[in-house]
């Protein structure tokens, strides 16, 4: 059995291709079941986000499995030429799949390193596959491990601590100016996307109150309601600035909407209480001369971009630590996965020898009718002891070689020598080999 991944992402495909091949809602369930229905696909999970579409499967024949996944993707968008799809795809196998998924879940493969949304999307994809019963022992282990690895990367590094969006950086600066936002009031001048993100970050940082002002009053009202804030009409926002501590401005106006004389008057009415102004507009909406006024802190988008770039470098440095964690965890998963290759052989060998022992014991006891129950028990104990002693070295060797490149060769040799019928190799349900697989891990840990 092999694990294969066929996918595309923001690194390999433009957004118009990603959109057409994406899966969501009921379509995801329908498509997952359709994929699992292919005879060659033993297990499957579909991870579909705005930045990637990745299909994880277990198969007996990797080349055929990859071909089937490509056929499946083409069947979902038959009006797209197959070559038009395949040119954007990448594939990984076994250890490469584990490494890729661990990096994805840990946000090391994201457009913005350290973002948190992807881990939730990985969890959702796995939950959907579990609900549709399209996973088994291998993908269950792989996806559970990816989630734990992502949590470990986030816990043991600082990959998610630095602001890497303009709106987030603006709020982080506000927190540095005012160590506690819990007793501060924030104002949003402009209710666009960046303003909305800023509102979200301010609320998450514990700001006491949000005030929203926008030329479109209904838009301002909608945003204010979303964050339990209040609305001030656009023509009145300068008067309201006397009562606020943090102002984030993003109106899209072609010129200044806040001038130095406005702020000079506001700071006088505030009795010199500090005010923090953040201009994330392009072109700027706040007069830069305001910087010369005492107790007024003004940052524009260039200042924030410098913060973001510094923080991105910090995240990249932390990502290197994350890669080391992933190297370690990929090794653990690969060791576990290789051990599965000998599990069916061990089970079949034990069953075959036990079957021979039982039949021969019954035949012998049937001939020796004068044996007492105690004597039968002694003979049975003897045969059990002989079987266990004979099997001991072969089983130990199989378990020790399970994690090496020779594991499959040893397993195949035993199958041929004992003429074993390995039915348990079909592990798609994950029910027949769990105990044996765990025993292997435990036994190997004792050597």
- Please give the helix or strand (H or E) that residue 146 lies within, else none: helix 137-156
* Closest CA relative to residue 57, chosen from 35, 34, 83: 35
Strand ordering across the sheet containing 52-59: 41-48, 52-59, 2-9, 90-93
DSSP string of 108-134, one letter each residue: TTSSSTT-SHHHHHHHHHHHHHHHTT-
Judged on CB neighbours under 10 Å (0-12, 13-18, 19+), 232 is buried
DSSP character at residue 259? -
Provide CB contacts within 8 A for 4, sequence distance 6+. 56, 57, 58, 59, 62, 65, 66, 69, 91, 92, 93, 97
Q: How far apart are CA 247 and CA 134, in angstroms?
A: 51
**What amino acid positions are annotated as catalytic residues?**
50
Per DSSP bridges, beta strands 209-213 and 275-279 are unpaired
Q: Quickly list H helices, 157-300.
A: 166-177, 193-204, 217-226, 237-240, 260-269
Residue 296, beta-bridge partner list: 275
Ramachandran angles phi, psi of 137, nearest 5°: -60, -35
Q: How far is CA 282 from CA 127, 309, 320, 364, in A?
A: 42, 18, 34, 94
Provide CB contacts within 8 A for 115, sequence distance 6+. 107, 160, 164
Q: How far is CA 390 from CA 349, 365, 383, 386, in A?
A: 12, 22, 11, 6
Q: 123-153 burial, b if ≥16 CB within 10 A, otherwise e?
A: eebbebbeebebbbbbbbbbbebbbebbebb
SS3 of residue 371 by DSSP: coil
Q: How far is CA 316 from CA 24, 60, 104, in A?
A: 31, 38, 15
Q: How far apart are CA 179 and CA 250, in angstroms?
A: 24
Residue 212, beta-bridge partner list: 188, 231
Q: How far is CA 348 from CA 44, 92, 425, 433, in A?
A: 27, 31, 10, 11
């Amino acid at each position: 059995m092999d694990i294969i991944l066929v996918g595309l992402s923001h690194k390999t495909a433009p957004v118009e291709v990603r959109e057409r091949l994406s899966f969501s809602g009921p379509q995801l369930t329908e498509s997952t079941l359709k994929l699992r229905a292919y005879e060659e696909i033993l297990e499957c999970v579909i991870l579909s986000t705005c930045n990637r579409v990745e299909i994880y499967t277990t198969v007996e024949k990797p080349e055929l499995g990859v071909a089937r996944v490509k056929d499946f993707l083409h069947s979902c968008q038959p009006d797209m030429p197959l070559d038009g799809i395949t040119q954007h795809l990448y594939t990984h196998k076994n250890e490469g799949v584990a490494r890729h998924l661990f990096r994805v879940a840990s946000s090391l493969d994201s457009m913005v390193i350290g973002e948190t949304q992807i881990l939730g999307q990985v969890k959702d994809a796995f939950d959907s596959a579990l609900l549709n019963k399209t996973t088994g022992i291998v993908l269950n282990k792989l996806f559970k491990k990816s989630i734990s690895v992502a949590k470990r990367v986030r816990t043991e590094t600082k990959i998610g601590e630095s602001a890497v969006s303009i709106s987030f950086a603006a709020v982080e600066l506000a927190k540095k100016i005012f160590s506690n936002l819990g007793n501060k009031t924030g104002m949003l001048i402009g209710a666009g996307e960046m303003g909305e993100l800023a509102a979200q970050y301010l609320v998450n940082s514990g700001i006491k109150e949000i005030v929203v002002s926008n030329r479109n009053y209904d838009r301002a009202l909608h945003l204010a309601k979303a964050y339990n804030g209040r609305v001030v009409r656009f023509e009145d926002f300068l008067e309201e600035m006397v009562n606020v501590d943090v102002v984030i401005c993003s109106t899209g106006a072609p010129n200044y909407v806040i001038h130095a004389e406005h702020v000079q008057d506001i700071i006088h009415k505030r009795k010199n209480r500090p005010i923090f102004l953040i201009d994330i507009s392009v072109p700027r909406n706040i007069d830069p001369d305001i910087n010369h006024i005492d107790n007024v802190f003004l940052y524009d988008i260039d200042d924030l971009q410098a913060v973001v770039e510094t923080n991105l470098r910090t995240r990249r440095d932390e990502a290197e630590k994350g890669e080391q964690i992933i190297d370690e965890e990929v090794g653990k998963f690969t060791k576990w996965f290789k051990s599965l290759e000998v599990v069916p052989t061990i089970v079949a060998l034990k069953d075959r020898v036990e079957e021979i022992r039982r039949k021969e014991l019954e035949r012998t006891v049937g001939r020796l009718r004068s044996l007492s129950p105690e004597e039968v028990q002694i003979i049975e104990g003897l045969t059990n002891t002989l079987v266990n002693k004979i099997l001991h070295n072969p089983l130990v060797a199989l378990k020790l070689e399970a994690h090496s490149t020779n594991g499959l060769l040893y397993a195949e040799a035993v199958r041929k020598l004992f003429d074993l019928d390995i039915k348990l190799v079909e592990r798609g349900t994950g029910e027949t080999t769990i105990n044996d697989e765990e025993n292997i891990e435990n036994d190997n840990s004792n050597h």
